[in-house]
Structures are given as C-alpha cells and as structure tokens.
Structure 1
C-alpha cells in the first residue's frame, strides 16, 4: 500500500510487515513492523482486498478478512485505528515495534495527565516510560504519539527513538493512536515570539551574585568589591561566573526605584566615586564577569525629563505618566527614544565593559511594568504614534541591539508570552524573593516555587529561568534554606547568590557551593503546571549509569509523610531500589514499589534512587544537589578485580564525600586515589561506605574501591 492521508505519506510492505509514515514538512517519520495477535495466533496484515486503497486488511488463519487498520489524516495529524469487520467482536492486539525520528529532538511528555502528581526533569539522554513525544528545541518541531494504550519511547540516538505500542481491537478507547507532527509547536501554543536559546552566547544558565536582596539601595562599589573578594575565595572555585551591580544610578541610594536617575548614565557620586567603568575592571580582576542592572523605561530625574520633555508620555491633562521605573515614562513609539535606549546600553557594554545585563521593569504582573502599561488605552492615546503595533518589542530589540550579540540579557521580569522571548537569554520568572528592607519569609519561598513550577516547561527551551537569588542566611530555618536551595538547583535554574557572604556559617555557605555549577537540566513535561506539586523527579543519565534524584517537598506548616511512588516516577515495579537522602546524609533503605518519608514542616527530603545491583554500587555525593551528576565523571564495576573504578571532579581545598552501598558478602579492603589526593573512609553498620576525598588543587581524580567477597 502507498497512500497519502493528510500531510502524511504512508507505505506498507505486506511481505515484510513493515509500515512507514513520513511527514515531509517537519521531517518526522515513524517506521516499523506490525503484528496482529488474536488468541495467541498471528494474523497477517495485508493490503486491502476491496478497492479501499488507504486501509490495511487483518486476515485470519483461514485467509478471511476479519478487520482493518485505517488511517485518517487531516493536515499534520494522522490517526491509525484498528477495527473489526462488521459483526465481528474478537479480542486481539495490534503490536507495532520500530523507530520514530525527528532531527534534534529528545523524548518528552506533551499530553497533560488527568491528575498531575509529579513533575519530571532530565539531565543527559534519559528515558522515561511516561514520555509520549519527541521535541526539537532548535527548530520548535514536535512529534506527538498519543494513545490511551501502552506506549514506550527509548532513545537510540540524536533525534531517534525506539517505539513500541499496542492497540486493543476490542476496546474502542484503546484501539487508536494519533501521530501529530507539528512545526512551531511552542510558537503556536505558548511563545508567539519563539527563538531558540543562543547557546554560543549563553551556553548554560548564568551564575553569580547580586546585592539587592540584602543591601537593597545601600551597596556601593566598596560593598560590592568586599563581597566579590569573599566570592572569589568561596564560590568562584565552584563555578560562579558573574558579579552584577544593582542600584548604581544617581539618586539610587533611597527607594523607590521611581526616584532613581535611570537614564542619564550618571553613577551615584558617593557610592560609586570612581565610576562604573572602573568597577567593571575591578570585578574582572577578581576573576568575575561584570554585570549591571538597568531600569530604562523611565526616570525619576526631573532635570533629565525637562531636558528631553518631548520624549515622555503625558496624559490628557499634560501631566507625566509614571510607572514602576520612574515618575516620567518614555514614549517607545518615537525613533529618538529607541535610539537613546540602544545607545546607553551600547555604552555600558562596549565602553564600560559589562557583559551581563539585568533589564528591569519589563513584563511583571501589572500596569507598573511596561509590557502591561503600553497596552492600556489611556497610554496608547498618549503615544506619538498611537497606531504603533509593537511598542514593547521595540524596546526589547533596542536593548539587544545596544548590548550586542555577545552579552547576556536577563529580562526582569520576562514573559515567554511576550516579545522578550526573541531577544533575552534568561527570564526572571517571578517577584523578588524578599521585599525591600524586610527579611525573606516562607511565603516568598512558596512564591518562588510556584513560579518555578508554572514556567518550568520553558526552561532551556525559551529562556533560562531565574528564580531570583538563592538566600540561605540564618534568618531562614535550616529546613527552609534547604527547600529554596533545592527549588533553585534541582531544575538547573540560574543560581545567583544574594547573601552577605562573610556572615554565612560554613554550613550555609556549603549550600551555595552545592548548587554550583548549574546542572544541565531540561524539562520532560512540556506544559505549564499550576499546582505546587510535592514530588519533583530529576532523571539522571551518565555514560556509567542512571538514577533519579527526587525531591519530596512539604509545603505545609506541619510535619507530613510524603510518598514517592516508583511507578509514578516511571520506575519498574519488578525491581528494588536503594535510596539515599542528601540533606541528612543518610541511607534510607532498599525499597520496592514506593518509599515514604516523614518530612518536616517547610522542609524537603532529597533522594537519590538507584536500582539495586546486589554488588558494590554508588549511592550519592555530597558535592552537589544532583548527587553525582556534575562531579562523578566515570564509574564502573570490575567484577574480575572486585573493584569500583571511577573519576571524581574535586575542588581544591574542599573535601568531597562519595557514598557506596557495600552489600553482603562484600567487604572493603582499600580505597586508593591518584597522587596528591588523600582519602579516608569508614563503613557504617548499614553497609554504606563513606569515602572523603581531599586535594589542595582542583582536579579530576581517578579512584578505586577494592572489595573482597
């Protein structure tokens, strides 16, 4: 059979039972073998015998046609359905085994479950039985395989997955599968200005430090450099990259932001006496890339307003229209205004040397932020060109044109539904983690978690997500600090510290270090989630092994038991799993089916879940929240030598502890590492071996764990 159905080309070879379905516009294809089984007998699938060219015939052992496979195509959608010939009612299964391919795609889930119990993430080429689609971020193309019956996708290579599904002819709800090959998947649904992240300019979520959430309007050059010296010692070795300056403008030493001189490029004379160019150079000398905050849609400077009065918006009474950025708001429909916005950002990038731009006052949640403000009728009437269709996009493009193609642009706040998606690298996803001159509280953390959950499907695809600074000072309980660190680091979001670093205890500083560097994480669930879910599952795949890192969050004010159901994570019900908890550094046990833990109020338990091997195996690392995903570079079991052999990435001057499960009858005889790396170890009564690695210089250290049995 060769047929065209919708935009799909369908070919079937009855001799080989091979079915091929091609969608030329997207490059998607599905091909493999069909097998129909009824009461244990194989019924061949053959070409139609009745002149209906676009269906296949199911033939019984007596060579009678007893059913059909029909294809219903409409545009990019193709339904494949198995059905009885009239008056037949036999039970049977149509099985397909083959491949699906879409260039540059990875397997994911696009069909929203009826009940969302957890969210799944990935680092490395992971597989999950919960996946139902292939998505290509670089081209915004998607191939969806939607069925109520069993479906399995397993990676075979870049953009290629093994596909296995079955259709039940006697159950109408399980008798069909729909293939949908869609161009502009995000653009048409969620992100009208979709553009893939430029990973040459911004290869991973930015990391750094910024002053706002502890200093607010009181951090000058002196305070920033003092903090940077601590950061250079304590955080730069772990991967911290940027040092970003806030509230530097003239008149910026007293809130609100609307009073700041946001447009003149004049630095605050007493807080930044040597100017912003010199500060950028000083930051660079400490080993960081300098960053800067701007709020360029308006100004609080009356002098600047009076000098350029025609640039600004006025209401019908002739009064200046204010916004969050300033008392005087620029008119973005004027070419002179757009050119000025472009030029001041060019100066900060090219002449001053700043490489990271946090541009504020963008989308936000209401009229005070300009994406909203420019949509209001009274404001549009005030434009010099009221018919201008895209005033906010004109600003976003001016910012990118000004800072240039090689600078990192954080849109604050940035909305994936708006034009900043085409120009910015990263998006501040919610409000401040703390209100000015107030201590951060639990409600701020809940807001951070909600924004993360809701926008996680855009992370690494549209923007890198910025959840605001990771604050872990002792104004938080230990449990709350662990929660916010997990929210930031487990999904691989931007990690900007924001505490007064010298005041942190070693335990709290360690939390920041355990969030660096950012792990390369992609969402597997490609849809917005509005519930604050208690279970977040990061699936890890490295060349030497796979495991899950699962956060069990207790968002309530009371201690609670939270269950981690292995089937809901896509893990096998036929296997046992070894579970280690990160924040308490404790071995939980070997579990089947599920693991339930008591989680303190406002707390989290972070589990590494490994399939039990019944031999010595890796459990966890205390180096990073992902428990081995960023620091264990290689690991394998040599059964002949009785050795675990691996390579661990160490930070000079900071010990790293790896933990291994040593089941009976095995026992550890020795642990060795390369010259210059010292080790110490002990085995607990539960069979967990702890190995502490120390080195004066950062290195990738080969090691061996020798065992007897």
Structure 2
C-alpha cells in the first residue's frame, strides 16, 4: 500500500527520492518517495490516505479544466490504477479521481472498489471530535457508516475536515468512518453494482474531494456549491404544494377524487393562492389496474395508463381543472416500476435476477426494475413518460425511484448497512448500474422538459440520494410522516430531522422536501406550530395535505403564515453540538431570524447560547420580537437565553438596536419580514420610516416598529387608497399599526414620527 499523507508541515525533499510540488492559495502538495503531503496554509491537522497497490511513479504538471479552471496536478500510478490529485486555483478542495485498469488479459468485473483509506488527525484530543454524515451527528469515537460525505470536526472551534463524493456518475459513494486505537479513520468506496473493464482498457470512476475548513458547517455548504457546479445545476422556482396523499380519510382515496380536487382547487384559489400556494398534486390511487391478471405484486398498481372510478373524466380533464383554477397540475407515479405478473409488461424490459434468471422484482412494494439500458426498456419508459406529460401535468412526484437500478427497498434507509444493489444483471453490462440508472433519469428529463421533478424517496435506498444529483429538482429526504396527523411526536419531527441534516443541499443542489406540515384539529397546537415554524424558518419545500375547507379559520391561518417558502439559505447553528440542532438562523441585509426548537415532546429545553457563536456581535444590543407570543421582548445582548416547554418552539426576529425607528417584525409570515418586506428607509431629516411590502388582499398586515425613548409615531400613509389602517398603538419602544389592503400587491407605506 502507498501512503498519501496530508500534513501541515511540509517535509523537505530528499535528494535520494524524486519530488514534485503543487500549490494553490489554500494548500500545497508535495511528494517525496512514497509520501505525498498536502499542507494547509494555516492549522495543525493531518490526514493520511492509503491507495490500493504500490506506487510506480508520481508526476506533477500544470492542468486546466473547462469547468474548474487552471490548477496543478499530481498523477500517481499505483497497482492497476492511476489517481490524480488536483489543486485548482480558488478551490478549497483537493480533487482525487481514479482510473482503474483491467489488470490482465481478461475483462475485470468490479462490484465495489476501495478508492482510499484515510487516517485523520485534527491536532486535538480525538475523543472530543464529532462526525456528520447521512446518518446525522455522532460522537467520533462511535461513528456510523453512511453515503456521499463525511465530516470530522471539533464542535468547540468548528474546525474540521469535509470529505465527499463530488460526482456519482458511475457508482454509489460510500463513507465508512472508524475509530481504532485512538485514531480516526475513513474508508471511501464506490459500489457500481457491476463495472466491467475490458482487457487492456481503463475506466474512470468518480471524483472525491477533501478540504480543511475553519468552520465545517460552511465547508459542507461549499461542498454543495461545488456539486451544483459539477452537475451544472440551475434550479427552477421553488413550488408550494398541496398533496392528496395524507388525507385519505377525508376523501376515500390517496388520490382524492375528481370532484373533491375541484372543490379544493376552488377553495385554495380564493384563500391560499394569494399567499403563495401554486401546485396541486394528485398522489397514488388515481391509476387503475390494466389487464388484471388476478395476481399482482405488492404495493401500488404500476401500469399508469387509465384511471379509477374516482376520476371518471380522466387525468387530462383533472389537470385542466387544476390549471383553470390557476395552479400547476401535479401527479404521482413510479417511473421505473413494473409488475412481472401483469401482461402489460414485456419481460424483456426488466433487469434480470441472477439467482433465478427471471426478471428482477423488489419484494416489498417497489416492483420490477424497468431496465433503461435495454432498447425495449427505454422504449417502454419513453411511451409511459410521454403519455403522462401529454396530460399536461407539469409537476411530477416520482416514487420508488431506487428501483431504476435493481436494488432492495431498505426503507427507512439512512446509514450504510452493507448492501445497496440486488444480485442482478442489466441488459448492457458495459454500463454500471448507476450509469444505466442515470440514463433512465435522463430519459425522464427528456420526456418532461418543462416539468418540476420531485424525487421520492431517498430513504427507500440511498442510491436515490447523491446518484440522482442534477436529475431532479427536489427530493423527499425523509420518511412518510402521516402519523403526525394524530399527534405522533416522532413523525412530527422526522421531516425536520432528515431534511435538517441535509440543510446544505437545500437551494443549492435541490430543494429538500420534508413531507407535509399538518394543522388539523387532531394535531396539538404546539405540534402544528412546531412543524410550521421549522418549515418556515428552514426554507425547505412547502407541502400541505388536507381538504382546506374543513379547517377551522385559525388552523388555516397557520398555513397562510408559512406561505410561500423563502429562498434564503438557513444555517443550523448548533449542528456540531447537538444531534438535533435547536437553533436555526436565516437572515438578510436587514433582519436576523432565529428559530428555537425543543425536540423533546415531554421535557423542557433550556437554551443559553452566546450571540457571537450565532454570528452576531456580542457587544451590541438586539431588539427581539416573538412571533407566536406576538410580543416585543426588549433587547438581547451577549447571549440568548430561553426555556422551551416540551414540543414547543420560538421564532424570534432580531435587529441591532438603532437610534431611530426601524421595522422589527410583521404579521404576514412566520419569518416576520424576510419574505414580505421589499425595502425599508429611514429619513432622518423628514423623520419618516417608509417601506414597501408584498401584501395580500383582506389580510390584516401589522407593522411592529421599534423606536428609541422619546420618539412618537404620529401618522401613517399608504399607497392603497382603498386600504384601511388601524389607529397607531404605541407602548414604550414598540409601535404597532395594522394595514388591511384592498388587493394583493406591493404596498408602499410611510410612518411619520
């Protein structure tokens, strides 16, 4: 084995060994004999990597990539492989990419490949470190295996190492951290299902990146930005969605019915569309069973051709009804799933089970894999996708996504348990399973060119996580949470738990979908507020699932205060310190919003946290307003302290205390001005505070303004002549005034002091 060592102190080259040196503004790399060192420009960390095989040679050269720009590269030949280490100008990550050879005169079949084994030393007591990965946060002396990325960090300083798979075009990237004899290790693997290397040939794998960061949280965000660059991701606008699935008890069908969807669309057009609801999506149970063989596989009907009696006019008519109400029509289906019992499906379209020689079929409910690598499979997929697209659905929720490659449904999947793929074969064995999978996803994109694609669900098998980057616009990253409708606490917080762990992907690589929030009377008010607040603060994708007209006005109002989802990037402040981060921060150039969450249903949570660690100035005072208590809290300085009852949360608007009036909070949205306030200006000479806000017709819009001692508000002026305004109320340093707009618009307002 060859040791690739990342050290802070660069060893002097020995005259007895060949040497090569690379450098960018973040780190330098050098080779002396069998040792390669990467040296950061500050710090004391060390990382050692073993690559398979003995080194034959290593050579440095300048390099330029069309996507990543100029840099310097070290090419290392080892065993049957060649690994390149590239430092690009302006990029804090070192890029590693391996090409693997056949190693002989015969073709070489590779299921899994160890890319590198690492040993990490951050220069402090190793027992004080933590890891972050797909499984969440763990003490680093008891880590858990995961996928895609792995972080080792000091929770006190936040210094850490971020290692991740930048691409997964060919395999599923695995991260297997260890702690042995007081040392932290990390083994990185690729699982291809099968990768065949022809005699005398080589094949490229995927790109692994490693970087040292002063703040590992920001390192993960940088990693996500690099993923977006690698896949050239440009996200469409974030949708705000109604889904039929979770109120089956109200409609008699997971897809609702043609009549009830029309009723919900009419109600939502009047009451929720002005606030931002823009998609109505039909879920499972709309599809009838074609060519009923008397026996079918488990789970949903998988033909997706005709409709059940719930939709007598067909899906195109229902899509038109939704569109006529002003919403984007959405539909659920399983793109790559078939049923081996049903004559609708030619057996030639399926992947093959190597054990039986018959079509591969997942045994839980995901169905049989329609193989995109075969001509027959591709033709079937294109016909299926074109049919649904022609019904004019422009939002699709594609479920059972993992079965696009032959694989088990291991729901709820979060950590790596030793198995990704099934023991199967695809038609084109020159493609890896992931290459065929991404081909199928590419066909889906081609046949739905103008459509928002929500993947579902990563937790069925994490080959539906990173291997689908760049192919979907959003991903259901957590398990079903329907139990929250009845107050189940675990399912109340599941969405926030899973989506929160992937906060860095949201708005950068895709939109995280945590599943719906629930506000029905069956849900305790504190639970409803908890779900709504986390969703509103986090900026994750917004989904609700209810017959809206059945909601009490005060429950419907909670939904209004969450619409639309914002597009700002949110940070889980204490994610390195707590498995479930209690402090979430989102800010723009005028307002800082903090969401504080108690993840325990029964016990109180005491939060005491220095403002400096939140990213605020501990020497300054900040005015604070509590959204749910509708209360001005005065000023906060030095640290934030609060006690939350079980299952409770708090959403605080903070602004640095000023010597003039300023807008602290509004009533429009839980984010208290982040989504609705367009501009705000204080004119000291005229003694006026003016601003522009996006408001909704008939929705009372309260401005909450702080002002210094001795300052008194005199009058308010608005640009909507038909709007009504309340009397100005002033209590101490807080001024309140309510504007009720006559129409949905951008409203100019001005308060004279």
Which whole-Å CA distance do the structure 1 matches of 2:161 and 2:586 have between them?
18
Match of 1:586 among 631, 634, 638: 631
Cα 1:272–1:551 shift into 2, 3 Å: same
Match of 1:534 among 573, 576, 582: 582
CA drift of 1:451 comes to 0.8
Which whole-Å CA distance do the structure 2 matches of 1:504 and 1:117 have between them?
47
Alignment of 1:325-364 (within 5 A): 325-349=365-389, 351-363=390-402
Alignment-derived partner of residue 647 in structure 1: 692
Cα 1:196–1:369 shift into 2, 3 Å: farther
CA drift of 1:186 comes to 7.0
Alignment-derived partner of residue 286 in structure 1: 325
* Contact kept in structure 1, 2:304 and 2:333, CA below 8 Å: no
Alignment-derived partner of residue 433 in structure 1: 481
* Contact kept in structure 2, 1:117 and 1:535, CA below 8 Å: no
* Contact kept in structure 1, 2:573 and 2:585, CA below 8 Å: no
Match of 1:399 among 417, 423, 444: 444
Cα 1:117–1:464 shift into 2, 3 Å: farther
CA drift of 1:388 comes to 3.8
Tell me which of the two structures has the higher relative contact order, counting C-alpha pairs closer than 8 angstroms and 6 or more residues apart: 1
SS at match of 2:490: helix
CA drift of 1:683 comes to 2.7
Match of 2:598 among 544, 554, 562: 554
Is 1:413 the equivalent of 2:449?
Answer: no
Alignment-derived partner of residue 102 in structure 1: none
CA drift of 1:652 comes to 0.7
* Contact kept in structure 2, 1:186 and 1:192, CA below 8 Å: no
Decide which moves more: 276-285 or 661-670.
661-670
* Contact kept in structure 2, 1:193 and 1:418, CA below 8 Å: no
Cα 1:323–1:488 shift into 2, 3 Å: farther
* Contact kept in structure 2, 1:455 and 1:528, CA below 8 Å: no
Which whole-Å CA distance do the structure 1 matches of 2:655 and 2:25 have between them?
43
Cα 1:469–1:434 shift into 2, 3 Å: same
Alignment-derived partner of residue 595 in structure 1: 640
Which whole-Å CA distance do the structure 1 matches of 2:678 and 2:91 have between them?
44
Alignment-derived partner of residue 236 in structure 1: 273
Alignment-derived partner of residue 38 in structure 1: none
SS at match of 1:620: strand
Cα 1:567–1:443 shift into 2, 3 Å: same
Is 1:381 the equivalent of 2:424?
Answer: yes
Deviations 1:624-676 (A, max 9, x none): 12211121112111111221111122101211111011332111111221222
Which whole-Å CA distance do the structure 2 matches of 1:179 and 1:560 have between them?
26
Alignment-derived partner of residue 306 in structure 2: 266
CA drift of 1:687 comes to 2.8
CA drift of 1:462 comes to 1.0
Which whole-Å CA distance do the structure 1 matches of 2:429 and 2:411 have between them?
16
Is 1:572 the equivalent of 2:608?
Answer: no
Which whole-Å CA distance do the structure 2 matches of 1:229 and 1:318 have between them?
52
CA drift of 1:501 comes to 0.9
Which whole-Å CA distance do the structure 2 matches of 1:189 and 1:510 have between them?
35
Which whole-Å CA distance do the structure 2 matches of 1:582 and 1:342 have between them?
49
Match of 2:526 among 479, 489, 497: 479
Alignment-derived partner of residue 97 in structure 1: none
Q: How many residues align?
A: 555
SS at match of 2:713: strand
Cα 1:193–1:251 shift into 2, 3 Å: farther
Cα 1:418–1:377 shift into 2, 3 Å: closer
Cα 1:460–1:301 shift into 2, 3 Å: same
Cα 1:113–1:77 shift into 2, 3 Å: farther
Which whole-Å CA distance do the structure 2 matches of 1:422 and 1:74 have between them?
23
CA drift of 1:298 comes to 2.4
* Contact kept in structure 2, 1:338 and 1:395, CA below 8 Å: yes
* Contact kept in structure 2, 1:413 and 1:430, CA below 8 Å: yes
Match of 1:277 among 316, 321, 327: 316
Is 1:424 the equivalent of 2:477?
Answer: no
* Contact kept in structure 2, 1:323 and 1:369, CA below 8 Å: no
Which whole-Å CA distance do the structure 2 matches of 1:394 and 1:28 have between them?
30
Which whole-Å CA distance do the structure 1 matches of 2:362 and 2:715 have between them?
70
* Contact kept in structure 1, 2:610 and 2:638, CA below 8 Å: yes
Instruction: Return the TM-score normalized by structure 2.
Output: 0.66
CA drift of 1:445 comes to 2.2
* Contact kept in structure 2, 1:450 and 1:531, CA below 8 Å: no
Deviations 1:287-307 (A, max 9, x none): 101111011332458333565
* Contact kept in structure 2, 1:237 and 1:651, CA below 8 Å: yes
Match of 2:727 among 663, 681, 686: 681
CA drift of 1:567 comes to 1.0
Which whole-Å CA distance do the structure 1 matches of 2:297 and 2:519 have between them?
26
SS at match of 1:6: strand
Cα 1:496–1:304 shift into 2, 3 Å: farther
Cα 1:667–1:439 shift into 2, 3 Å: same
Deviations 1:504-549 (A, max 9, x none): 22222122112222211125689997821100111222xxxx2210
CA drift of 1:325 comes to 4.3
Is 1:368 the equivalent of 2:409?
Answer: yes
Match of 1:207 among 221, 240, 256: 240
Alignment of 1:453-532 (within 5 A): 453-523=500-570, 531-532=579-580
RMSD (Å) for aligned C-alpha atoms: 4.4
Deviations 1:564-617 (A, max 9, x none): 421111211221110101111111111211232222211110001110003222
SS at match of 2:504: helix
Cα 1:562–1:237 shift into 2, 3 Å: same
Alignment-derived partner of residue 64 in structure 1: none
Cα 1:117–1:504 shift into 2, 3 Å: farther
SS at match of 1:693: strand
Instruction: Return the TM-score normalized by structure 1.
Output: 0.69
Which whole-Å CA distance do the structure 2 matches of 1:526 and 1:397 have between them?
37
Decide which moves more: 298-307 or 456-465.
298-307
Alignment-derived partner of residue 664 in structure 2: 619
Match of 2:495 among 448, 467, 471: 448
SS at match of 1:457: coil
Cα 1:411–1:470 shift into 2, 3 Å: same
Which whole-Å CA distance do the structure 2 matches of 1:79 and 1:283 have between them?
46
Cα 1:377–1:563 shift into 2, 3 Å: closer
Which whole-Å CA distance do the structure 2 matches of 1:306 and 1:178 have between them?
55
Deviations 1:127-168 (A, max 9, x none): xxx9999xxx9xxxxxxxxxxxxxxxxxxxxxxxxxxxxxxx
SS at match of 1:578: strand
Gaps of 5+ in 1: 11-21, 30-72, 81-109, 119-129, 138-175
